[in-house]
A and B are shown apart, each in its own frame.
Chain A
Amino acid sequence: MNVLKRLLRQNEAYLGVLIVVLCIVITIANPSFLTFENIAGFLKSYSMIGIMAVGTLFVLILGGTPDVSFTAIAQVVEYAVVVMTLAFGGNIFVAILAAAIMGTIMGLVNGFVIHYFRVPTIIVTIATFNIYFGMMYVITRGKLINNIPIMFKQFGNVLLFPTQSKIGGTYGLSLHPLIWLAALLIGWFILRRTFLGRSIYAMGGNEVAAERVGIRTMWTRVFVFAFVGLLSGVAGVVHVSIVQSVVPNIIVGKELEVIAAVVIGGASVFGGRGTITGTFLGVLLFAILNNGLTLLSISSYWYNVTIGVVITTAITVSAYQQLRQSRTRVNVKIEA
């Protein structure tokens, strides 16, 4: 009974139910939703958002305002890695490693500035967003790259469980969702099983108290932003291996969608709360919504409207619950 109550209280349960209902509705309207081909497809196209969401979750738990520079980091890294591999060759592993390192460095810059100058995250990251993204344009003049090295295409075309489709092509599970899964597992392990992860929650709950129990707040904060940078770098490589060309402004602009998915997943914008499961479900909800609209032949312009409605409903419901709680709270036991 107690377990059931706890489960019902959790945001994840609501989200899970919502997703199941949505899946049923879409499947009734168009049975091709619930096929391996379709599911593998939308998981692949949401891998980049999913990887970035793990980083955003860390930032929201740490507390303060969200980071908005991670899409610029992914964009810059994507461009730089492609340019570098075009010039020097290498293989996909070297490319991912290089992307991770570049991303981490840009994240470290964010972390140090935020910690040492005590500037709100959103201000610092708006600034660095413009610096990173702007510098890329200054150097590249916004040139598109269509002939990307073959390694990204090869990596993007690897299929697990390849299956022949009726109309002749081959489909299967690509590697991108597996990288997303790896990001989720690493994120879960850090948050749940390491002292560092618990320190992030502790700082989000009460930073002064965290310092008093001996948590190294500087190192913890810098780690979070470096981790966001690392994930963004990897997300950049994932993206280029999916779209197989570099359009220098295609990733930026996704940051609000990522933050929204994490918030829908139950992370508190006031810090200290949020889970990997919730974040995964939040991204999954967006992926299914997007895919569902396509399958129901509804214009993709409705996607943004739907997301807006979902977010508004979610925050209104939780605010209403809190209001009701405060109204029915017993302040004084009145005697007859």
Chain B
Amino acid sequence: MEEFLQLRDIRKSFVGVYALKGVDFSIRPNEIHCLVGENGSGKSTLIKIISGVLQPDSGEIFVEGRKMDHMEAAASLARGIHVIYQDLSLFPNLSVAENIALSEIEEIGRSLIDWRQVHSIARAAMERIKVDIPLEALVGELPIGLQQLVAICRALTSDLKLLILDEPTASLTKHDIDNLLRVVRDMQQAGIAVMFVSHKLNEIFEVAERITVLRDGVSVGTLPREELTNEKLVGLMTGKTITETRFAFEAMPEAGQPLLEVRGLSKKNNFADISFSLSAGEIVGITGVIGSGRTELALALFGISPADEGEILVDGKRVTVRNVQDAVDAGIAYVPENRLVQGLIMKQSVADNIIASVLKRILTPLRLIDPQQRRHRVEEWVEALGIKVSDADVPVQTLSGGNQQRVVIAKWLATNPKILILDGPTVGIIRELAGRGMGVLLISDEVGEVVTNCNRILLMRSGRIRSEIRAEGIHADEVQRLVEAGA
């Protein structure tokens, strides 16, 4: 079959740094194709080139067999290529009908609004993928899964040939993902190609016909689904064969009581009857699907939305965690799932972000910030975590994602915590931290990471801990099955 879109040897550099250095990619009409790669592998740059937002330095683009000399955003749209970005680009304050129809109304170029027309455009788009969302509902009040479908409906109002979904499953529940995959198959039936872009291995692989892997700006291979195993994929993405060394926990010789003990912790509509303990030097994983209560538990332990009842003991002493300050005083630190909203002040400098959590500890006798201590602390952490930055006074938003992540971690490690809660991201240094006697709670839905990095795993489902698993000797697939069975 002829390819709908074909890219040959695409190269693109930004101020001398290569983002793409030779990418080949193709997608057939009505194919479901996955593009995967780690953060920084060039996925977003490639999407922007396909959608015409960026122009490649060299390379060829063919759409339906015709060479495109210069593909601008409008030209890409006119060929039926539509991108749904992670932020969905919806209008939270407008109705479902208007969100779906607005771009089409703009296209028609009528300056007066005919509300019947708005509704009929929206209804037609929803019928095509067999979904039924109340037309008058405000999009901002819909759950994220339905918002995603609204974004897809909006794309369907144009003559859609290729839909690109950027990280579509990032915050969807299992039910939403199933629904999305059904919609995608329906679109395939209707002759629409779908390209999924993702940085992790997940459900969408099951529906993909082919998978293209990007690594450091190069397409390292396109394989049919059947030929790809998890290990092969990880190998292609990272360029390393996984020789997974598992985390081995050795109890601290002097450790008597657990570092953290949680007894019967409950919060209405969030989680119920949570009891577990964490010893110094342990890395305990908490896993479960979205909506299992894992993140809600972390937020309660850190005092962001405190629990209603139950006890939290640190070093055997009962502590009351009613707000974040209580948690910090008790020696708990929390690195959130979403560093953009919860972790960093993006416009402030790297240095100011790092010291934000320890301002009180670097004051002069006059209660002013001591510049020498400030510099000292910042240098210490920039070096310890290997944050790649020429000058610690540049705004955090200018850093790459990975470096921003390190700044959040530095900010919390600076408080000298006994207990570190990591939500989502795994970082290389956690084993070292555990080795120094810190207790780490690793909250993640990436079972593979949890199994390799933890010595115990708590499995959550519907707000409760369902089982505790010793990570030693267990296979990731087995845990994955347990997680899915719990959904």
Does A associate with B in a complex?
yes
Known contacts A214-B106, A331-B296, A333-B463; decide if A201 and B91 are in contact (CB<8 Å): yes
What's the Cα separation between A334 and B463 when bound, in Å?
Answer: 5
| Residue A194 at the chain B interface, CB threshold 8 Å | yes
Q: Does B292 contact A (CB under 8 A)?
A: yes
Option from B106, B112, B463 in Cβ contact (under 8 Å) with A213: B106
Nearest neighbor of A195 in chain B, beta-carbon distance: B111
- Which one of B93, B94, B269 contacts A331 once the chains associate, using CB atoms below 8 Å? B269
A-B contact count (CB 8 A): 88
* Interface class of chain B by DSSP: loop
What count of chain A residues pass the 8 Å CB interface test?
Answer: 31
Q: How large is the interface on B (under 10, 10 to 19, 20 to 34, 35 or more residues)?
A: 20 to 34
Segment of A40-48, A156-164, A202-210, A278-286 in the binding face: A202-210
Residue of A nearest to B102 (CB): A213
Could you say which residues of chain B place their CB within 8 Å of the CB of A273?
93
Q: Is B113 in contact with A209, judged by CB distance below 8 angstroms?
A: no
Question: Which of A206, A268, A333, A335 makes the CB contact (< 8 A) with B91?
Answer: A206
Q: Are A209 and B112 in contact (CB under 8 A)?
A: no
A251 at the interface (CB under 8 A from B): no
**Mask of A298-336 contacts with B, CB within 8 angstroms, 1/0:** 000000000000000000000000000000111111110
B91-108: CB near A (< 8 Å → 1, else 0) gives 111100010001101110
Contacts of B111 in A (CB 8 A): 194-196
- Shortest B194–chain A CB gap in Å is 20
B431 contacts chain A at the CB level, 8 A cutoff? no
**B272 contact from A192, A196, A215, A334, Cβ within 8 A:** A334
Contacts of B168 in A (CB 8 A): none
Give the contacting residue for A206; candidates B89, B112, B270; CB below 8 A: B89
| B455-487 interface code vs A (CB 8 A; 1 in, 0 out) | 000000111100000000000000000000000
A192 closest partner in B (C-beta): B113
CA distance A210 to B103 in the complex (A): 9
Residues of B within 8 A of A118 (CB): none
Give the contacts of A8-55 with B (CB-CB under 8 A): none
Contacts of B310 in A (CB 8 A): none
The reply on B281 being an interface residue by CB < 8 A is: no
B205 at the interface (CB under 8 A from A): no
Which residues from 265 to 295 on chain A have a C-beta closer than 8 Å to any C-beta of chain B?
268, 271-273
Given A208-B89, A331-B270, residue A213 in contact with residue B103 (CB < 8 A): yes
- Write the chain B residue with the least CB distance to A211: B89
Q: Which residues of chain A have C-beta atoms less than 8 A from B90's C-beta?
A: 206, 209
Task: Give 12 pairs: A residue, B residue, CB < 8 Å, sorted on A.
Answer: A192-B113, A193-B113, A194-B111, A195-B106, A271-B93, A273-B93, A332-B462, A333-B291, A333-B462, A334-B272, A334-B293, A334-B464
Name A's B-contacting residues (CB within 8 A).
Answer: 192-198, 201-202, 204-206, 208-210, 212-215, 268, 271-273, 328-335
Q: Given contact pairs A331-B293, A332-B296, enumerate 14 new A-B contacts (beta carbons under 8 Å).
A: A195-B105, A195-B112, A197-B113, A198-B102, A201-B93, A205-B91, A205-B93, A205-B94, A206-B89, A213-B102, A273-B93, A334-B462, A334-B463, A334-B464
